[in-house]
Amino acid sequence: GPNLDLKGDFLAGGTRLAGASTTIELPDIYTWAIAGWPIRNAQHEWKVEVDLDYADWSGFKDLNLQLSNGAVIQNPRNYGDAWVLMVGTEFKALSPSALPHWNVAFRTGYVRSESPIPDRTFEPAVPDSDFNAFSAGLGFLCHAPGKFLGILPCDIFGAKAIGMDLAYQALLYDERNVQNNQQPLLNGKWDTTLHVGALSVRMNF
């Protein structure tokens, strides 16, 4: 994959000891996807999509830090490859009778992702494991002559529409039993759960 070259300073107690550089080899990612609309008319749109990603992390062997004084700080990674399956659906009501100048969308999705990180180089900074993710969301898109939140004209500043989206996602990581780590103190069971919420407002021109 492509390389990301990073340069900076190596500090200790706030004092610069040397210049530092490293290179991250990013993965080649291959995606296969298909989408369809079981319903698509003037009143409703229902979209279903399935994506399958393959991320080839096998080139990410290390994150060694090269210092300007000639020293090298070893940081092996030895990542593998990973598959990610994503399934999502959106049902959209177009200008429903209760909100004649709005489009309202209901969304939900599921992700199953493999981890490319082996037990040997697992670390708390990236506590990754295979995981399942479940998401749900709502979207509201207001167009003229409607008013956003009952206050702002939806064509204000020449906009075609104003939208608001809300989303929630729960990432449930498989419990990971790390063994034979390069830092023995990290051996053991790791369990991670993430809850993510989002609110966004946008203007379409």
Q: Check residue 148 and give its pLDDT.
A: 86
CA-based max dimension of the chain: 71
Identify the burial level of 189 via C-beta atoms within 10 angstroms of its C-beta, where 0-12 means exposed, 13-18 middle and 19 or more buried.
exposed
Residue with tokens 């608001």: 164
Task: Give the contacts of 113 (CB within 8 A, at least 6 positions apart).
Answer: 82, 83, 84, 85, 130, 131, 133
Question: Average pLDDT of 72-81?
Answer: 95
Nearest to 201 by CA among 136, 135, 156: 156
**What are 72's two structure tokens?**
């090298």
Domain boundaries of the chain, sorted by first residue: 30-57+79-204
Q: Mean pLDDT throughout 89-110?
A: 95
Mean pLDDT of 195-202: 97
> Above 90 in pLDDT, residue 1?
no
163: phi then psi, degrees, rounded to nearest 5:
-125, 155
Where residue 64 falls among pLDDT bands split at 50, 70, 90? very high
pLDDT for the residue numbered 53:
98
Residue 201 · residue 164 · CB < 8 Å: yes
Instruction: Output the pLDDT for position 170.
Output: 99
151 pLDDT higher than 90? no
Percent of the chain whose pLDDT exceeds 70: 100
- Work out the average pLDDT over 46-74: 95
Q: State the average pLDDT for the chain.
A: 95
Residue 71 neighbours by CB distance under 10 Å: 12
pLDDT band with cut points at 50, 70 and 90 for residue 77: very high
For residue 48, name the pLDDT band (cuts at 50, 70, 90): very high
pLDDT tens sequence across 158-173: 899 999 999 999 999 9
Q: What is the pTM of this model?
A: 0.86
Q: What is the pLDDT of residue 113?
A: 98
* Confidence (pLDDT) at 150: 83
